[in-house]
Chains A and B, each alone.
Chain A
Amino acid sequence: MQYLIIGAGPAGVNAAEALRRLDPDASVRIVGDEPEPPYSRMAIPYLLMERVDEHGTHLREQADHFADRGIIVTQGRVASIDPAAHQVTLHDGSRLGYDRLLIATGSSPASPPIPGIDGPNVSSCWTLADARAIAARAVSGSKVALIGAGFIGSIILEALAMRGVQLSVIEQGERMVPRMMGPQAGGLLQRWCESHGVAVHTGVSVEAIEAKGVRLAGGRFVEADLVITATGVRPNLGLLEGSGVKVEQGVLIDRHFRTNVADIYAAGDVAQGLDFCTGSYAVHAIQPTATDHGYLAAVNMSGRVAEYEGSVNMNVLDTLGLLSCSFGRWEGVDGGEHAELYSPDDYRYLSLQFEGDRLIGANAVGLFQHVGVLRGLIQRRTALGEWKDRLMRDPTRLMEAYMATTQVI
């Protein structure tokens, strides 16, 4: 059996390791397109903060981790897939065969149509190569403009601020992290960042990037030596052209990670899989989904049957010491109920969304102990019973509610 995995990120690596355990005699190969050992994009902000060196970004600590397990990791960029021949063709013209193929190609930064975005003073912050270039230019005292204060932008924000740059952030949404948290929570993040010396411009779009900075709609000009874009990511789907693999926002997969084409599976940022909370199919480009996908795709690829329960969208963010997180349907649903604590003076916010007596989503700012139980309660669809009313009165009693409904106390 030959397993071929396209993509050396967390989904691909977790799949490869699981396939090796499940099918000890098989050939397992990862093809990645970057000239680095498999690494974590999530660690890049911490590399920029100089908390870790490049080795600290690697997905696996030991350099011989993959070789030790008989997992072949090669560099190459897959250009196309020929499902009839069970082969992929790389950009250099070479071909690789497979019995089962996993598409785990991840995503890439979206590049909005802003004049000047291709200029030499503009960079995304996505790869280790990007990080090296940013580290060389975002030095103490330099002026940096960050376009985008979504989840990824806000993580980069912290790294840049900690490098001692004069930082301005521009977000076209009405608040920071508009797709992760509501207005009150987003407002707290903005006020906190501003109080820590970051200029935050929300509700305004960028008209053009020029040599000396960023021109905003309405005429304001933000001076910058370096412009960093964090305006969302898009799944890497180019290699699927002509393959017959069905694509919407991402590669459509069923609950067994199969695409519509035999022996081709998909996982991670590139995959449009079951959303646990909505029952629809969505791209959840987050680390926990990538690792869960990778593992369970491998189980199915190995011939076992594991039906996926779906991913819960969730994020955790640290903006200069203010911690926040979001889970599931944090924006609530029609007919649902909502408990909220809002304490702006001490930067605390907690919002719980219910449907009946079950938790379906949450946002928290400034409260970060035991937050994992928010996932636990959502993903178990725990019936909270009388604890729901207690949480409606005091949402901070979350841990007690969790323990009372899931443990023997």
Chain B
Amino acid sequence: MQRALHIDPGKCTGCLQCEMACSYENEGLFNPAKSRIKVFTFHHEGRFAPYTCTQCADAWCQKACPVDAIQIDRNTGAKVIVEARCVGCKVCTIACPFGTVNYNTASGKVIKCDLCGGDPACAKACPTAAITYIDADWTGLDKMRAYAEQSLAGTA
């Protein structure tokens, strides 16, 4: 069964543990600016919302990559940046309509969520279960993907 990150903004307290964990897991340092998951603050509503890649079935970033540097992790279904192939052209950063692929100036390559190979650090670090890693069927992922594909590609 494929699993996916499920985010419940209602449970998020804005503690940023997920950003710290992500940055440490992927970059070896506690720097939220290098996190692949980002918590946004809604002052008016008094809400917080973690946000990251949903690993689209038919991924815009992957299709747009000119050098085959975004490949699928067969175990998790995650779309993964192959660092050795990424030239740093950034086309994926404008092609992803969800804004979840970002350029890392330090490495000269792009970064995105890769589900930590199947054991996402953000979900483990979240103290309130606002981020969980569960069966994809329960996340509403398919609906989101279908919506994205329909509204962007054309109606098949």
Contacts and interface: CB of A to CB of B under 8 A. Distances in A.
A60 B85 CA distance: 10
B100 A323 contact: no
B14 interface: no
A9 to B, nearest CB: 9
B66 A399 contact: no
B96 A299 contact: no
A58 B93 contact: no
A321 B105 CA distance: 8
A380 B97 contact: yes
A61 B122 CA distance: 31
Contact of A51 (B9, B38, B87): B87
Nearest to A408: B9
Contacts of A40: 66-67
Nearest to A398: B99
Contact of A287 (B66, B87, B96): B66
Interface stretch (B17-25, B73-81, B131-139, B147-155): B147-155
A288 B94 contact: yes
B95 A288 contact: yes
Nearest to A52: B87
A385 B38 CA distance: 24
Contacts of B103: 323, 368
Instruction: Say which size band chain B's interface belongs to.
Output: 35 or more
B94 A315 contact: yes
With most chain B CB atoms within 10 A of its CB, the pick from A51, A57, A292, A370 is A370
A379 B103 CA distance: 22
A307 B99 contact: no
A306 B100 contact: no
B155 A403 contact: no
Interface in A302-360: 304-309, 314-316, 318, 321, 323, 325, 327
Given A51-B88, A52-B87, A409-B9, 13 more contacts: A42-B89, A42-B91, A58-B68, A296-B153, A306-B154, A316-B89, A316-B94, A368-B102, A372-B93, A373-B97, A376-B97, A379-B152, A399-B51
24 contacts: A51-B87, A52-B67, A57-B67, A58-B68, A61-B82, A287-B64, A288-B60, A288-B64, A288-B94, A299-B156, A304-B156, A306-B153, A306-B154, A308-B154, A316-B93, A368-B103, A371-B94, A372-B101, A374-B94, A379-B97, A399-B40, A399-B51, A400-B42, A407-B49
